[in-house]
Structure 1
């Protein structure tokens, strides 16, 4: 079953790649069949096998030679690992099913956020709803923790954004900073979801880990690409996953 769950995760990861590509451009994820995004040639099933096709093709389209994004095998492998981890945690159960829906949604949100720095609201709503389904806490306490965490970060976002737009922009004489916000709108529902699932103090550990994971990529994008916006949903998701599976907060107890 462990091997089956990993293979199942690879297949789901391939489907998640379809969602990541098609949902932001409002294209059906059911039809048509997958095609090369460069030459538009239909991809036969035997060249659409998760990870193995990428390795066989050496990362290039068979028809036009265009480089295939590394995102595809990364999403497939991460989804497979996550599926295996959830199976080992829950076995065959309703908890496994609901948890997979939640974490698969996080994967889709994360990679869309990486590319567009904006995510569909309905995916955020799905993640938020399922966070209350998979939490091990009573609904009242899950709601309380979600409201406390999201409310605290809304206030923090207001204070830091005010500093960036009104003080930092004047000091650096950078007009672009007047439009920058500390947190994106999509970050708040994810923070609420983390609060609902983990509670205290685990949520703060997950957020701390998220900040650590984000440091090096944000520095890279600012220096190399002059991009001051860092998509934070991927790092929030990673922080949640690490704390959810490994309970790092125990180290601080």
Structure 2
């Protein structure tokens, strides 16, 4: 069953790649896979999760353009998360609900990474799913979601005020006057984490996310001259660490 869960995750990871590529563009999800460079249809034997990338040596079979590393990364990530969820939850309804939650989180993370914006309907879906995954009662879930998302909004206001009104003047950079500290899409993601993990563990998620984002943020600023970085991928990484390793329970 462990091997089956890994293969199951890899196969669905291939479909998640389709969602990541096509949803932001409004393309149909039900047409055959095609090369993003030359639009040539991809044969089924060139569309085997993980293995096809290795066999083709990272190049498209039709036009020999480089295949994005996103494809094997998403497939491997999906495979391992599915395996770890199976080991944690066993074959149960909680397992299947959690798998769907993590798959939506993967899609959101990679779309945010590429576009620095995510579809609202995916955020709503993630939040709704969190209530089914949570072990807490409905009222506690609502309370936790509201408290943490409210705290997140307050944090966003304070940091944004500092950036726009203080940092902009200190650096004499007018572009900072329009800069938002955090994106609105981060709020429902944080709320969904609060529903599943509770307040204390979700605060640990935010700490991990900020920690993981430090080096990429510095690199992005000085290498690419960009101030804004996608934060949902780092929130997701922090959530994965806390969900599986339960650091909060170890510390407190």
Structure-2-length-normalised TM-score: 0.98
- SS of the residue corresponding to residue 181 of structure 1 reads coil
Q: Which moved more, 1:163-172 or 1:147-156?
A: 163-172
Q: Which moved more, 1:109-118 or 1:202-211?
A: 202-211
Q: Mark the runs of 5 or more structure 2 residues left unpaired by the alignment.
A: none
- Residues of 2 paired with 1:190 and 1:21: CA distance? 21
- Residues of 1 paired with 2:16 and 2:245: CA distance? 25
Deviations 1:132-152 (A, max 9, x none): 110111111111011000001
Q: Which moved more, 1:172-181 or 1:5-14?
A: 172-181
Q: Mark the runs of 5 or more structure 1 residues left unpaired by the alignment.
A: none
- Residues of 1 paired with 2:216 and 2:184: CA distance? 20
Deviation at 1:80, TM superposition (A): 0.3
- SS of the residue corresponding to residue 96 of structure 1 reads helix
Aligned to 1:126: 125
Aligned length: 252
State whether residues 22 and 29 of structure 2, in contact with CA within 8 Å, keep that contact through their aligned partners in structure 1.
yes
Matches within 5 A, 1:96-107: 96-107=95-106
- Residues of 1 paired with 2:172 and 2:56: CA distance? 49
- Residues of 2 paired with 1:179 and 1:139: CA distance? 38
Matched, 1:171 2:148: no
Matches within 5 A, 1:40-79: 40-79=39-78
State whether residues 34 and 42 of structure 2, in contact with CA within 8 Å, keep that contact through their aligned partners in structure 1.
yes
Aligned to 1:154: 153
RMSD over equivalenced CA pairs, Å: 0.8
Matched, 1:115 2:114: yes
Displacement over 6 Å in runs of 4+: none
Aligned to 1:2: 2
- Residues of 1 paired with 2:199 and 2:62: CA distance? 53
Matches within 5 A, 1:5-24: 5-24=5-24
Deviations 1:59-81 (A, max 9, x none): 11112111100000000000000
Deviation at 1:110, TM superposition (A): 0.0
Deviations 1:163-190 (A, max 9, x none): 1111111211112211211110100001
Q: Which moved more, 1:243-252 or 1:20-29?
A: 243-252
Q: Which moved more, 1:10-19 or 1:134-143?
A: 134-143
Structure-1-length-normalised TM-score: 0.98
